[in-house]
């Protein structure tokens, strides 16, 4: 498979939409998403012989993509990435239950991508990859507190955005 272009093309055709979707969710701009997408796919094809048929193939590829995305984000913003620590007094946001408003996926994607890098990464890992704060902390080499803080702040920002839509629609 490593050098079989036909096989590679098949895999690409089958999985590229989902994986490209992940890249779009993690990266702020589309060009960066494209770059990471290409690089990660190259890694997938180079390391495909290491896939040991343990777990799903898609899951294996997703892990490669997420690792690559995090690596890229870390490189991009090394200094200020994940520096804030959870402060229960200020970071605890009362999660408000929002009225159901139909929002297009593109709009939701836009909201996610508008989040600061660190919040977006934690939010993606927690909400979409269903990782626990401990796992996120290990992966991102941050404390659990920081992970919680980032998630809460991300939720707060998204909450405001959605409320603003609601207000706009009701007004």
Partner 1 sequence: MKKQKIEDIFSSMEDFSSVPPPELWAGIEEKLDKPKKKKRAILWWSAAACLLLCLSLPMALSDSGNKIGTGNAVEKNKVVLDENKNNETHKNVTSKGNQDSETTKNGIVNPDSENISNPVHHSDANSVEETAVATVDSKKGNSSKTVVSKSNSANNPNQAVAEGTTVNGNKNQFSVSGNKKTTQAVAVKNYDSGKQNSFNSSDKNQFNTSENQKSNQAVASKNYDSGKQNAFNSSDKNQFNTSGNQKPNQTIASKNYDSGKQNAFNSSNKNQFATSGKKNLNAGKKNSNEALALKNYSAQKQNAFNSANKNQFSENEKRNLDKVVAEKTFTGKSTNSFNNASKNQLPNSIFESNVNSNKNNVAFNSTKTSESNKQNAVSENKNETITKDQKSEKAIADNAQKSNSKFNDVLSKKDSVQLAELQNLEKGIVTPEAKKQKKKDPKTTNAEKWALEVFAGVANSENYKNDKTLGNVNDSKQSNSFGVKTKYKLNKKWAVGSGFKINELGQSVANVSYISTKNNAFLGTSDYLVQNATVPQIATNEGYVLVSNTTRNALASNNIQTGNIDQSLKYIEMPLEVSYAVFSKNKASISLNTGGFVGKLISNNIALDGNSIGQNENANDFVYGSTLSSTIQYRVYKKTNVFVEPAMNYYINPLSTQSFNQFQLGLNFGLNVSF
Contacts with partner 1 by CB under 8 A lie at 5-18, 20-21, 24-25, 34, 37-39, 41-42, 45-46, 49-50, 52-53, 55-59, 95, 97-100, 103, 105, 108-109, 112, 127-128, 155, 158-159, 162
Residues 23-47 as b/e (b if ≥16 CB within 10 A, e otherwise) read bbbbbbeeebbeebbeebbeebbee
Cβ(119)–Cβ(153) below 8 Å: yes
**Is the Cβ of residue 57 or residue 135 nearer to partner 1 in the bound state?**
57
CA-CA distance, 66 to 62, in Å (whole number)?
6
**For residues 13 and 79, which CB has a smaller minimum distance to partner 1 in the complex?**
13
Here the tokens at position 117 are: 């890098």
**Residue closer to partner 1, measured from CB, 5 or 77:** 5
Residue 42 or 85: the one with the smaller Cβ distance to partner 1 is 42
- Which tokens hold the place of 25? 């969710």
Q: How far is the CB of 39 from partner 1 (least distance, A)?
A: 8
User: Over the Cα atoms of the chain, what is R_g?
Assistant: 18
Residue 152 Cβ vs partner 1, minimum distance, rounded to whole Å: 10
Q: CB-wise, 16 or 80, nearer to partner 1?
A: 16
Q: How far is the CB of 29 from partner 1 (least distance, A)?
A: 14
Query: In whole angstroms, what is the distance from residue 143 CA to residue 55 CA?
Result: 28
Compute CA 10 distance to the chain's CA centroid, rounded to the nearest angstrom: 25
């Amino acid at each position: 498979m490593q050098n079989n272009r036909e096989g590679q093309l098949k895999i690409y055709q089958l999985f590229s939409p989902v994986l490209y979707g992940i890249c779009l969710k993690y990266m702020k701009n589309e060009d960066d998403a494209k770059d990471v997408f290409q690089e990660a796919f190259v890694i997938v094809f180079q390391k495909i012989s290491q896939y040991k048929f343990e777990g799903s193939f898609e899951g294996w590829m997703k892990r490669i993509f997420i690792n690559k995305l995090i690596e890229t984000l870390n490189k991009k913003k090394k200094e200020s990435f994940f520096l804030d620590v959870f402060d229960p007094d200020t970071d605890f946001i009362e999660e408000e239950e929002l009225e159901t408003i139909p929002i297009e996926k593109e709009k939701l994607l836009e909201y996610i991508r508008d989040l600061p890098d660190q919040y977006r990464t934690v939010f993606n890992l927690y909400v979409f990859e269903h990782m626990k704060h401990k796992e996120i902390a290990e992966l991102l080499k941050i404390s659990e507190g920081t992970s919680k803080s980032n998630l809460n702040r991300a939720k707060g920002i998204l909450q405001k955005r959605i409320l603003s839509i609601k207000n706009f629609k009701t007004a």
